[in-house]
Structure 1
Amino acid sequence: MSIARIEPHDDFLRVHFSAGEGPRHADFHWFWLRHNSEFDRHPLTHERIVCSSELPLELHPRLVRLSEDAAALDIDWGDRSDGQVSRYASDWLRAHAYAPERVPAPAPPSDSSSITVNAAHLDEPLGRFALRTLQRTGAVVVRGFGTDTEALIELIRSEGLSVIETHFGRIEDLRTDNTTNRNTDQLGYTDSAIQLHTDQPFLDRPPRYQLLHCQQPANTGGDNAVVDALAAAHHLADLDRPAFELLRTVPVTFHRKQKSFERVLVSPILDFDAPGGFRIRYSYFTLAPHRRPFAEMEAWYRAYNRFAKLVRDERHQYRLRLEAGDFLLYDNWRMLHARTAFTGSRWLRGVYFDAA
């Protein structure tokens, strides 16, 4: 019995076995492998001499390789001065496989080209294409449309969506020298970085879609990031079901407080039962202090932070830069969005839409 190949991942190692009885592949957490190293057994009695509590929970090996005959797996954990490696026989791994034939939920996609199109290259009406792509992927980027926001609004309205006015107004001019909007005392009107979030989570029904239409790019920075939070939720459920269940069931408080506006809403972060389908409310800058029973607070923070690290990983993000005339349209119930800090007179126009 031998190992055909190995496939390292962030949280686990996938081992592909050669032909024979048993699973074709199995997944093993790094921590589980380290806890079952022969280094932690007495050389005469072969009993464990190390408790798992003595090992760091978040660890990654320095080197993973197959033995010369591929009958075993060798892992250098980087914690032994003698340079010895842990060896795991293929038969032993197959016999102790606790996740055989696992089919993981994929991580959020990151290939921005898959959601990007040039307006001049479309062979169907732009509004129809944008909405069709939006329903499939959650976001669409269109290059070279031009800077006429009212014309763009009409194209989107022709597909059955209506503009939703908020406490900022009908159209937001997202620029540091804004003089056209109400309630500009918030991060969107500064040059600061804004990490991933959804807009208006403190409303009973946040606007479904948002348009960001570039009038003028920044001199430096100001790049956008978009993350498929629905894919991220399924991915988290596959990696850490307890964390997923907490995000799905624990109510948190979103509190938007500005000089002339205040709103509070309590809801779980992940809502799979919302009218109209999945809805995520996620906004670190409008979160009120968490209130959980003392015995549950650490578990809640671990769950929240696990999700945050997952979506903040650039490998799980669509990353892009909008130039003058480009626009980004995304599903605010499904996608998270962010921007980097910038210099210069960056100017984007923001418009919210929902079903007519």
Structure 2
Amino acid sequence: MPITRIEPHDEFLRIHFAPGESPRHADFHWFWLRHNSELDRHPITQERIVCSSELPLDPEPRSVRIAEDADALDIDWGHRPDGKVSRYATEWLRAHSYAADRDSPPAPPSDIEAVTVDFARLEEPLGPKIFRALEQHGLLIVRGYGLDTEALIETIGQQGLSVIETHFGRIEDLRTDNTTNRNTDQLGYTDSAVQLHTDQPFLDRPPRYQLLHSQRPAETGGANFVVDGLAAARYLSGLDRPAFELLRTVPVTFHRKQKSFERVLVSPILDFDAPGGFRIRYSYFTLAPHQRPFAEMEAWYRAYNRFAKLVRDERHQYRFLLQTGDFLIYDNWRMLHARTSFTGARWVRGVYFDKAH
């Protein structure tokens, strides 16, 4: 049963076996492979001489290759002065395949071309295009629309979406010299980087959609990036079910306090039972101190940090820069968004929408 192909991932190695055989493929954690290396056995008794607790939890192999006869896998862990590699016989791998033919959810998408359109080349009305993109991808980037935010609001309104006024006002002028909005004592009105988050997680019903309409780009920086939080949650469920279950069930506290506004809300980060469908609440800058039993706090932080590292991986992000007249619209219940720091007089207009009730 030869190995036909190997597929390395960050957390595991997928091994593909010959067609027509069972299993078709199997997944093995790198740590499991490292722990089961025959190099860590006594040469006479073949007993283990290394405990898994003595090994690094995140081994990084120097090389992985199929043996010349395709009946074994060789992994160079890069730590032996004698240069010996770990060899895993194909039949042994098949016999010990604890994740045979596993169906793994795909990683969050990052193909920016799939979610970007040129306004001048649109072959259909803008409103329906926006609505379909939000349903399918969770976002849409439109290049070259122009600067008329009110006209854009009217177009979006024709799809049954209404502007939602918040404690900032009806339209946010996200600029460092803001004089038009209330409660501007928050990161969005500075030139600092703002890492991935959802907006208004401290509200019972956060606004469903947000429009970010570029009026003027920064001199340097100010790029946007967006992550599909629903895809990230599903991906995590296939990698680390205990972490996923903690994020789905453990309530956390979001607390926003500004000049003339304060709100507190308690909710899990991943809410699959929210009215209207899946809702992610994720905002590192409005999280109150975590309150978990002492014996559960470390497990909670491991789960939270596992998810944070997953979404902060640039391979899982849509990354782009809005030029003058471009806009982004995204589903705030599903997507996380962020921006890099910048210099200069960057100006983006922000508007929240929700379905008319």
TM-score by length of 2: 0.99
2:297 and 2:24 map into 1 onto residues whose CA distance is 40
Matched, 1:243 2:222: no
The equivalences for 1:107-122 within 5 A come to 107-122=107-122
The equivalences for 1:97-112 within 5 A come to 97-112=97-112
Residue 20 of structure 1 deviates from its aligned partner by: 5.8
1:228 aligned partner? 228
2:209 and 2:21 map into 1 onto residues whose CA distance is 51
Residue 21 of structure 1 deviates from its aligned partner by: 4.1
1:338 aligned partner? 338
Q: Deviations over 1:25-74 (max 9, x none)?
A: 11100000000000111111111111111111111211101111111110
Corresponding letter in the other structure for 1:115: V
2:19 and 2:108 map into 1 onto residues whose CA distance is 32
Q: Deviations over 1:184-239 (max 9, x none)?
A: 00000000000000000000000000000000000110000000000000000000
Matched, 1:149 2:149: yes
Which structure 2 segments of 5+ residues have no match?
Answer: none
- Aligned to 1:206, what secondary structure does the other structure show? coil
- Aligned to 1:83, what secondary structure does the other structure show? coil
1:260 and 1:22 map into 2 onto residues whose CA distance is 64
Q: Deviations over 1:143-164 (max 9, x none)?
A: 1110000000000001100000
Residue 95 of structure 1 deviates from its aligned partner by: 0.8
- Aligned to 2:285, what secondary structure does the other structure show? helix
Matched, 1:59 2:54: no
- Aligned to 1:286, what secondary structure does the other structure show? coil
1:128 and 1:29 map into 2 onto residues whose CA distance is 44
1:88 aligned partner? 88
1:191 and 1:41 map into 2 onto residues whose CA distance is 57
1:148 and 1:121 map into 2 onto residues whose CA distance is 18
- Aligned to 1:247, what secondary structure does the other structure show? helix
Change (3 A) 1:19 1:146: closer
Q: Deviations over 1:240-272 (max 9, x none)?
A: 000000000000000001122111000000000
Residue 102 of structure 1 deviates from its aligned partner by: 1.0
1:350 aligned partner? 350
1:219 aligned partner? 219
Q: Deviations over 1:106-164 (max 9, x none)?
A: 00000111000011111211011111111110000001110000000000001100000
- Aligned to 2:215, what secondary structure does the other structure show? strand
TM-score by length of 1: 0.99
Residue 22 of structure 1 deviates from its aligned partner by: 2.5
Aligned residues: percent identity?
79
Corresponding letter in the other structure for 1:175: R
1:167 and 1:20 map into 2 onto residues whose CA distance is 61
Residue 166 of structure 1 deviates from its aligned partner by: 0.2
1:143 and 1:261 map into 2 onto residues whose CA distance is 35
Corresponding letter in the other structure for 1:18: A
1:252 aligned partner? 252
Corresponding letter in the other structure for 2:255: H
- Aligned to 1:288, what secondary structure does the other structure show? coil
Residue 322 of structure 1 deviates from its aligned partner by: 0.3
Which structure 1 segments of 5+ residues have no match?
Answer: none
- Aligned to 1:133, what secondary structure does the other structure show? helix
2:8 and 2:162 map into 1 onto residues whose CA distance is 47
Residue 81 of structure 1 deviates from its aligned partner by: 1.2
- Aligned to 1:330, what secondary structure does the other structure show? strand
1:292 aligned partner? 292
1:38 and 1:135 map into 2 onto residues whose CA distance is 51
The equivalences for 1:305-344 within 5 A come to 305-344=305-344
- Aligned to 1:129, what secondary structure does the other structure show? helix
Relative to structure 2, which stretch is displaced further, 185-194 or 67-76?
67-76
The equivalences for 1:157-306 within 5 A come to 157-306=157-306
1:83 and 1:270 map into 2 onto residues whose CA distance is 46
2:50 aligned partner? 50
Total equivalences in the alignment: 356
